[in-house]
């Protein structure tokens, strides 16, 4: 497996992938947070990874960097490897992927959408372990009461990403919008 670390307005992010003779599949995207850099997270999570380069990864990096600067970017899932996700996590991630830019959903609404009654906590846990943040826009999931909830890149990053998408947030971290998906 290989990895590359890239700069962004939110410190760094690291992409880990596996390349075979026939294809390339993303294994993880790590975001830096206030406690730990993305490269350290990647090296701690994968025992055998080496620095690498790939034109597909460079192209993806440019899209992620644009997104993190506030540009409207559409991501595809063709490079994403869901094989290490549980069936429920894959359903959660695919439902979250469908939440459009400038909209939010709640953990409870996503749970209801995929047929998991009283599943807000399950959805929250799946998104907390989202292996593909930014591509799967888990920053768009909030609590039912309008509070932001958590985020792998830290709460400041989540807030900034939502605000770049036009979502209004109070000083106390409560989302104000009628653009609720599902």
Q: Could you list the active site residues?
A: 138
Per the listing, tokens 């294809």 go with 23
**Would you say 22 and 11 are in contact if contact means Cβ atoms under 8 Å apart?**
no
Cβ neighbours of residue 100 under 8 Å, at least 6 residues apart? 181
**Would you say 10 and 31 are in contact if contact means Cβ atoms under 8 Å apart?**
yes
Nearest to 18 by CA among 31, 5, 28, 30: 28
């Amino acid at each position: 497996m290989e990895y590359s670390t890239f700069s962004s307005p939110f410190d760094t992010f690291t992409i880990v992938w596996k390349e075979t003779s026939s294809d390339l599949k993303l294994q993880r995207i790590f975001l830096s947070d206030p406690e730990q850099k993305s490269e350290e997270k990647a090296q701690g999570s994968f025992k055998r990874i080496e620095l690498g380069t790939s034109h597909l990864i460079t192209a993806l990096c440019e899209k992620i960097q644009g997104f993190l600067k506030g540009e409207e970017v559409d991501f595809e899932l063709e490079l994403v490897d869901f094989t290490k996700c549980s069936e429920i996590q894959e359903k959660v991630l695919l439902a979250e992927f469908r939440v459009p830019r400038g909209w939010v959903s709640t953990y409870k609404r996503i749970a209801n959408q995929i047929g998991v009654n009283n599943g807000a906590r399950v959805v929250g846990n799946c998104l907390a372990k989202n292996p593909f943040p930014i591509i799967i826009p888990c920053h768009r999931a909030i609590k039912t009461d309008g509070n932001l909830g958590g985020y792998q890149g830290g709460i400041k990053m989540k807030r900034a990403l939502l605000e770049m998408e036009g979502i209004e947030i109070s000083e106390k971290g409560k989302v104000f919008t009628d653009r609720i998906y599902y």
